[in-house]
Amino acid sequence: MKDREIPLIKAKKTAEKDVILDSQGFFVIDVDSKTIRVEYYSNVYKDKRIVSGILQKVFTGTKADALSDTIASHAPPLRPEHYLYLGRELQKAQLAFDQQKKYIQGGC
């Protein structure tokens, strides 16, 4: 049997200036004492740049997995890195919620 060569790829964070914004929109995550709240906005463009968003849907829950599944089935298809970012942030949001600590949404 011939040896298979599997690529081993070292992780590298994309610089903020190189992040491609999702044309499908963006999410704003808030945590209070009762819930994690995720607002989904479609982009508003002026002169070909994103300047704001139109609120399209609001998701609430207390668990990152439930919010992830629900968002995936109710939001339009996102860029893969956007899904991964959202998963990371929702997990951070759940941690803050569970420990009743302040959550500040991070950048991508």
Nearer Cβ to other proteins (21/28): 28
Beta carbon nearer to other proteins, 65 or 84? 65
Tell me how far, at minimum, the Cβ of 35 lies from other proteins, in Å.
8
Residues of the shown chain interacting with other proteins in the complex, contacts defined by CB under 8 A: 28, 30, 32, 37, 41, 44, 46, 51-55, 58
Query: Using CA atoms, how far apart are residues 66 and 60, in angstroms rounded to an integer?
Result: 9
Going from the C-alpha of 35 to that of each of 29, 30, 64, 70, 92, the distances in angstroms are: 11, 8, 11, 15, 13
Pair of tokens at residue 71:
């968002």
Shortest spacing between CB 12 and other proteins, in angstroms: 28
